[in-house]
Amino acid sequence: MNKKEFSNAIRFLSLDAVEKAKSGHPGAPMGMADIAYVLWKKFLKHNPSNPNWINRDRFVLSNGHGSMLLYSLLHLTGYKLSIDDIKNFRQLKSITPGHPECDITPGVETTTGPLGQGLANAVGMAIAEKSLASEFNKKGHNLIDHYTYVFSGDGCLMEGISHEVCSLAGTLGLNKLILIYDMNNISIDGDISIAFTENIEKRFESYGWNVINNIDGHDFGSIEQSISRAKRELSKPTIICMKTTIGCGSPNKQGTSGIHGAPLGESEVLLTRKNLGWEFKPFHIPKYIYKEWDAKKSGKTLEQNWNKQLNSYKKSYPKLYTELQRRLKNKLPSSFTKKIDSLIEKNDKSMATRKSSQVVLEHIGPSLPELIGGSADLKESNLVFWPESKPFSKKDASGKYIHYGVREFGMCAINNGIFLHGGFRPYGSTFLIFSEYAKNAIRMSALMHLPIINVFTHDSIGLGEDGPTHQAVEQLTSLRIIPGMSVWRPADVTETAISWKSSLEKLHGPSSLVLTRQTLPELKRTNAQITSIKKGGYILQDCSHKIDAILLSSGSETHLCLEAANKLTKDGLNIRVVSVPCLEEFLSQPKSYQNKLIPDDFDNILAVEAGIGVCWDKLIGKKGVKITMDTFGVSAPGDKALKHFGFTISNVIKQTKKLIKKNG
């Protein structure tokens, strides 16, 4: 029996699916088929009958355009992905979309496509494995013990994010991370020498990685030996540089960019069948090949043996067992709500909301061991730490504070991987303006419906002297328009506490907490008002007579509206103040609740926010007005910058009176 037949099954499932769809990327699956066979057959610990088994090895296809490689592997090894699903590649409502999506296809660990991010997710998974193992493994009970394997191509390593995350992985000594680099030297534009000539071996050695170089990616023995070597490394992540031929087996297109992202064509498919001795019809896999690939029995045995360990662990460490189960189910501890409520009840101090956030974390952090994350080199500015939070490091993986360094994009993509691993609630932090560096990873959080928490401080022109390069203007809007994102911009400690509470309770999609550098007063509320904060919008101050105007605001501008309303009341006007800390949550409320706060037929509405204000148009109607930004900021002390752009009590009063006069 020719073992190449087993890897050829991947090649022909891939090229047949691409041919039928008249769309796709056959080159990478055909080139990496031999590597995939050896890894999945000889090394990968997984159970097709339970894709979510916590102690499985993780496999990430970072070069996600080669999705048919992964779909072929899942189909052949026995996951719930049928030959009809393969035939339905890239079609509407199929479970085999153009790029792998983790919430669509069983066995897909993460959604990949934007190059380099799968590699970043894999770094996150390796961090999570190391942290969870340090916390729960005990002598004689090696409960958490698995590897993260990631396939990556030239494109992934060209992307800047690969530098960010691989540099950090080396610093953290993630030895159970094994990167298999497909060195086919071809990109869409042709031979990579036109744009990518660096020495990968020296690059990764400088990161502190173990480098295994010059491996023949089509020789089963060499592939197996290299992976075995990688697994013996105990202090460093490993990159295995596999030399392959893109589109391996295609007589006229292999080794060229022409096979990267297009069907081979009918005549070339026939020639490839003949060249590789594949005599079977499209989508036909012989039974003996299925038998060789089938991993259901071995996977079931692996998990059963692990379950025996788990039962023994339960008897020896019942409290840790219960805690692990809670964490894996993403259930918050019972004490969580009480701690948040106690903070709300006793707070009356004025402070910046970034400080408010730290106060919240000091209350809840010690009782939330699943909370892991940190800041992109802005620990003392973002304030996302508390006294008990110690650093995660190469020497101590039990710490939950990650020093991400100046790596905003990498941080957010790593956090996606940490959550996907299981057992953690990750957060990351930077200045709001630098959410732009991280935006695609934040978008991927939303696309995958992951409850990642982003903490963005220095939220507006109010940060002051650093000027327009650091002053966020359009970022609030750009975050709000991401589907599934909840953007919280609290006005004080109470709203900040509710923002954290809501973000941690949300399990289907990311949240962003947007916080000030400047001090804000703590506002007075009734218990009913506090209860309503979670709805994203509520009446902060009302009037007993017919309303003359409604003032809407978030964050640092809320107290301006409140003070302006008090002065307008003295002038005989009836003003309602509505705080909207989370526009998305408010707009998700029943229309009856929204109308109770902002009646549909009411015209005199003024929205005040120190950012681009297009999102407020949904609430103010055609006759309402805004005090918002429509330019970049200026370099000046924060209070002077805010005054320069009209964010003052006097201007709110002026614009409110002008609005009332205009609309009658």
Report how many helices (DSSP H) and strands (DSSP E) the chain contains, helices first: 27, 20
CA angle 137, 142, 148 (to 5 degrees): 95
CA 603/CA 634 separation, integer angstroms: 33
CB 122 within 8 A of CB 148: yes
| 277 secondary structure, DSSP code | T
Smallest CA-to-CA distance from 303 within 126, 41, 56 is with: 56
**Tokens at residue 11, please?**
């090649």
Whole-angstrom distance, CA of residue 62 vs CA of residue 44: 17
Terminus-to-terminus CA distance in the chain, angstroms?
89
Distance in angstroms (rounded) separating the CA atoms of residues 162 and 155: 10
Contact of 454 with 480, CB cutoff 8 Å: no
> Tokens in use for 615?
């999102």
With a CB cutoff of 8 Å and minimum separation 6, the contacts of 232 are none
Calpha distance 324→138 (Å, rounded): 13
Amino acid at 583: L
Closest CA to 367 of 344, 398, 338, 329: 338
Q: Give 663: exposed, middle or buried? Use CB within 10 Å, 0-12, 13-18, 19+.
A: middle
> What's phi and psi for 482, nearest 5 deg?
-75, 120
Contact call for residues 549 and 605 (beta carbons, < 8 A): yes
- Integer Cα distance of 535 and 582 in angstroms: 8
d(CA 357, CA 248): 54
| Distance, CA of 563 to CA of 421 (rounded, Å) | 48
Active site residues: 408
Q: What is the CA angle 521-455-127, rounded to 5?
A: 150
576 strand-pairing partners:
550
Whole-number Å distance between alpha carbons of 116 and 556 = 37
Confirm if 13 and 72 have CB atoms less than 8 A apart: yes
d(CA 487, CA 107): 31
User: Which 3 state secondary structure label does DSSP give 442?
Assistant: helix
Q: Is 390 helix (H, G, I), strand (E, B) or coil?
A: coil
Within 13 Å of residue 176, how many CA atoms lie on the same side as its CB? 22
